[in-house]
Structure formats: structure tokens, C-alpha cells
Amino acid sequence: MVDERYNWRSAEKRRCAADNEKPFEISQNTMFDQLKNLKNLAGMMGNMGDMKEKFEQMQAELARVEVDAEAGAGAVRVTVNGKFEMKRIQIDPSMVATLAGEGSEADKEMIEELIVSATNAAIVKAQEQIREQMSEMTGGMNIPGLDGLLGN
């Protein structure tokens, strides 16, 4: 016969009863989620050749994907591709005069901030689009390290 004082299940039940919780609720859900991920991983491992091919196709497509973002109510628009390379900067003509020396130093700094802001927004949009494509490719499974490819 097992001594109830040393049985971990009894201890867990006593702890949960004291805290008005259901025993094993969190650990069982976590365990089943992990088993589902293992099942998905096993399926992916079987399709590793297909995944590698899809990943290579996705990388080629990234150079063609272009994402725009703007700042200053459209005064500055920046376009980046899926490889986070800046392709274009469009500056409103009224702002160009400021850059040509007719404006103050504060105006110049504002335009520089708008360019940085639009660039950062475009990069975030590109990251989101890539994350969606990767999620589709992996069947929605979160694979550690893939976010590192996006600069996160």
C-alpha cells in the first residue's frame, strides 16, 4: 500500500483543493498540446524534402514581394521587399523643397524622422507577411528559431 503522504498525486490534489483548483488541468492540457506538436513534427519530418523545396521557393518569392508603408499622412512612402531591402523612397514634392535647403533644420530633422518611421513600418509589414507565409508552410506549427530569420 502506498503511503498517501509521499504520493505526488495526493499532494497535488491537496494543493489544488487548498487553492480551489482542478488538479492536473494545466499539466494535462500542456501534455496534450505537446503530443499534438510531436504529431505535427513527425508529419513534417516525413515531408522534409517537400518543405525544403517550399522553403527555397518562398525565399525566391521574397525578393519579388514588395510592401509599402507611409508616414506623415503620405508625405513619405517607403517600399521594401521580403528580404528587407529598401526598393524605393517617395517624398512629397512639397517636402523636397525643404530638403533642397529652403527649410529649417527642424524641418530637415522631421523629414529624416518620417523616412525612418516609414522604413520601420514597411519592415514590420514585410515581417508579418513572411510570418504568415511560414505559418502556412509549416501548417501553423511554431518552430523555434524561425522568428530569428525575421530579425525578431
Same structural domain, 113 and 131: yes
0.85 surpassed by pTM: no
Structural domain boundaries, residue 123: 48-150
**Cell 527642424, located at residue:** 106
**Residue 125, domain CATH:** 3.30.1310.10
Those residues with Cβ within 8 angstroms of residue 92's Cβ, 6 or more apart along the chain or in another chain: 72, 74, 75, 76
The yes-or-no verdict on residue 30 having pLDDT over 90 is: no
Report the domain count for the chain.
2
The yes-or-no verdict on residue 7 having pLDDT over 90 is: no
Cα–Cα distance, 68 to 123 (Å, whole number): 9
Q: Would you state the pLDDT for residue 26?
A: 47
Using pLDDT thresholds of 50, 70 and 90, give the confidence band for residue 89. very high
Mean pLDDT of the chain: 76
Q: Closest by alpha carbon to 120, among 144, 106, 112, 131?
A: 112
Handedness of CA 95, 100, 105, 110 (dihedral sign): positive
